[in-house]
Chains A and B, each alone.
Chain A
Amino acid sequence: MLISCPYCGPRDLSEFTYQGDGNRTRPDPASTDQQAWNAYVYDRVNTAGDHHEIWQHSGGCRAHLMVTRNTLTHKVSAVAFARDAGHRKSDRHRMSGGAA
């Protein structure tokens, strides 16, 4: 299996570390919504088909990549930096708020 790292180009599976389901959103750090936390830590979509997942290029640039890969065929259809994945909002503000 090859994953095209946006920095390093197409690289072999053996250079990457799988970091799991990329569909999960971490709740607000100050959130006390236990259900949301449980879902974040334990529940997985486990899709049969195109799956959004995070891989770290641990044997290369060490960036985390948001990879769209088909779990039936192993075909990779999209790779982006995880930090650009979009649905993640900054929680700097709330984090500081929590500390206050």
Chain B
Amino acid sequence: MAEYSALSLLKNAFSGNRDWKPAWRKPDPKPSYDVIIVGGGGHGLSTAYYLAKEHGITNVAVLEKGWLGSGNIGRNTTMIRSNYLLPPNTNFYEHSVKLWENLSHDLNYNVMFSQRGVLNLAHTPGQLDDMARRGNAMRLAGVDSELMNPAQIGRLIPALDLSVGGRFPVVGGMMQRRAGTARHDAVAWGYARGADRRGVDILENCEVTGFLRDGDRVTGVTTTRGEIRARKVAVAVAGSTGRVMQLAGIDKLPIESHVLQAFVSEGIKPFMDTVVTFGAGHLYVTQSDKGGMVFGGDIDGYNTYAQRGNLPVVEEVMSEMVALFPGLARVRLLRSWGGLMDMSMDGSPIITTGPLPGMYLNCGWCYGGFKATPASGWCFAHTIAKDQPHAFNAAFTLDRFHRGILIDEKGQGSTPRLH
């Protein structure tokens, strides 16, 4: 398949764009593979890509129940950062940012990673100290971060009301300049194309209906497109983990499924050049290249598998939005949607072998899955290929909850809706 470049674009333009080929094949399932990955979202696709690229394992199928990228990879607010407090998270997400930095080249697909910076606002000196703790943890781990004062913040984002209506004045903020945004769909398509070019079969409209077992051991899956066997079956279906694992007889996990709503305004001319989060509530905002303000807040806060939310969160998010940006009161909300979150019991993910022999599990991403896409796939591929975790995901075990080795970034304990 042809490389993408300005030259190929020009060449094809001359032939009326008639010679472009599908970005990935649409093959029929083979009876068996070395590895089956359940879930054709960002994490599943990147896992397939890195299995092929880093480990030479290409006899791989990615199974997607609907259209490729229909889950959270296409529903998030596109933010990428590694501004975490706890070392397992800092190291893992920093590895991810590094992969992001070279991803467009790696995939020969422009995923539009825009390192426009992520700024967390602080509204009390105590909160700024908490941020400093996090920012210092990052710096001590070799990750960039810096504090900004209100004057600097005002220059960076003139649209921001630094007094937040006089109620929560901004006292400072923490900036990670290498953080930013990417075009979410392009990530799915880029990984799909990259994996496909290395021989991976991407099987859309192929829903897993059950797991084939030999005793405890998982030996394959039954699907709406027939039975498929594999030496290794990996599950990367965050949001639907409960449902899929139930098919394998695992009916309890340290996970609840919740809905997170996201919002986009009508397109406006460049309004803000960075990503901002509000510290006296819960709001994160960016502006897409098309001009829409893309933003979100809390999860709705109850178990659900329906990809839609309700009004209380909508109202809360909008009130915070116009408190930060009073000039946007007259800008209009264009669209809202919901994505399903695997909320884990400590707010951190799980990338592990098991819980059954022949099975591998990648789940529990809470809000943070999009930015993790490259590292998640990279680590999961390593775990699948080597049957043991890489140092980057060694802490993301399933048994850490029972053992009390928690990675609780927010200190909320086993109340998933608060992570």
Contact = CB atoms under 8 A, between A and B. Distances in A.
B401 interface: yes
Given A72-B306, A73-B306, A46 B401 contact: no
A43 B252 contact: yes
B345 A42 contact: yes
A28 to B, nearest CB: 19
Interface in A40-95: 41-48, 51, 53, 55, 69, 71-74
Interface in A3-59: 12-14, 18, 20-21, 34-35, 38-39, 41-48, 51, 53, 55
A82 to B, nearest CB: 15
A1 interface: yes
A39 B330 CA distance: 49
Given A13-B312, A38-B401, A71-B304, A45 B254 contact: no
B346 to A, nearest CB: 9
B124 interface: no
Interface of A is mostly: mixed
Interface residues of B, number: 27
A41 B302 contact: no
B242 A48 contact: yes
Contacts of B242: 44-48
A48 B305 contact: yes
Given A42-B402, A42-B414, A14 B312 contact: yes
Interface in B368-409: 401-402
Contacts of A14: 311-312
A72 B302 CA distance: 12
B415 interface: yes
B310 A44 contact: no
Given A47-B242, A72-B306, A21 B414 contact: no
Given A71-B305, A74-B306, A48 B402 contact: no
Contact of A18 (B241, B254, B301, B402): B301
Given A53-B303, A71-B304, A21 B312 contact: no
A24 B122 CA distance: 38
Contacts of A55: 302
Contacts of B252: 39, 43-46
A66 to B, nearest CB: 14
Interface of A: 1, 12-14, 18, 20-21, 34-35, 38-39, 41-48, 51, 53, 55, 69, 71-74
Given A42-B345, A71-B304, A72-B305, 7 more contacts: A14-B311, A14-B312, A41-B401, A43-B254, A45-B242, A46-B253, A48-B243
Interface of B: 241-243, 246, 251-257, 301-306, 310-312, 345, 401-402, 414-417
10 contacts: A21-B256, A38-B401, A41-B401, A42-B254, A42-B402, A42-B414, A44-B256, A46-B241, A47-B242, A71-B257
